[in-house]
A and B are shown apart, each in its own frame.
Chain A
Amino acid sequence: GAVVSQHPSRVICKSGTSVKIECRSLDFQATTMFWYRQFPKQSLMLMATSNEGSKATYEQGVEKDKFLINHASLTLSTLTVTSAHPEDSSFYICSAGRSATNEKLFFGSGTQLSVL
């Protein structure tokens, strides 16, 4: 079945540094990918929709200058957390799907970000 690969699975960084998370669709092309964030004991919250070749669409309350999204190819989207702070510590998850009305979304394994 289709697989979405996410890397790294875990990252620890110092406050003020930037962290890049990669999301790849391994056996299908994804014109659209989605980024979610999940805090402990809470549900997944949609952050943004990543569109290949165009600007990402951010959900209300998500800072586009802080969470930079690049979707330069049909199989790769990246999320960069710029100038990370402890409050950005969270579980980040990407998802993608084939472009069909009855298709399901596939999710990456997630990235646990810890900002010290």
Chain B
Amino acid sequence: DAKTTQPPSMDCAEGRAANLPCNHSTISGNEYVYWYRQIHSQGPQYIIHGLKNNETNEMASLIITEDRKSSTLILPHATLRDTAVYYCTGGSGNTPLVFGKGTRLSVIA
């Protein structure tokens, strides 16, 4: 299981980019980096995942360092609805994801 380290909390002004870091130095070569978020009393919502290359979808961008020991999730224009706990984790295929404590992102108007 990939162990991850994330800052416990971050603030971001509405409309600005939110950059959430994650250290995952123990991730193995075949494990993908996954990002999920959880809004209070709901199940985790998938955001994005990647293996080596940077990825972008309609929700966010994922920047993975060349050594794969860390990554950054970028929400390009944060809105109030992006306030949530963001988790990064590692996994491969249909294996259970192990979640750390995540980062509580507060988007401020």
Residue ranges of A at the interface with B (Cβ–Cβ < 8 Å): 4, 6, 31-32, 34, 42-46, 49, 91, 93, 95, 97-110, 112
Contacts and interface: CB of A to CB of B under 8 A. Distances in A.
Nearest to A107: B43
Interface of B: 30, 32, 34, 36, 38, 41-46, 49, 51, 87, 91-94, 96-102
Given A102-B51, A105-B96, 13 more contacts: A6-B43, A43-B87, A43-B99, A43-B100, A43-B102, A93-B43, A95-B44, A97-B93, A98-B94, A102-B49, A103-B93, A105-B34, A108-B43
B93 A99 contact: yes
25 contacts: A32-B94, A34-B96, A42-B101, A43-B87, A43-B101, A43-B102, A44-B38, A44-B44, A46-B96, A49-B96, A91-B41, A95-B44, A95-B97, A97-B94, A99-B93, A100-B94, A102-B49, A105-B97, A106-B46, A107-B44, A107-B45, A108-B43, A109-B43, A110-B42, A112-B41
A99 B44 CA distance: 19
A97 B101 CA distance: 23
Q: Is the interface of B mostly helix, strand, loop or mixed?
A: loop
Contacts of A104: 34, 46, 49
Contacts of B87: 43
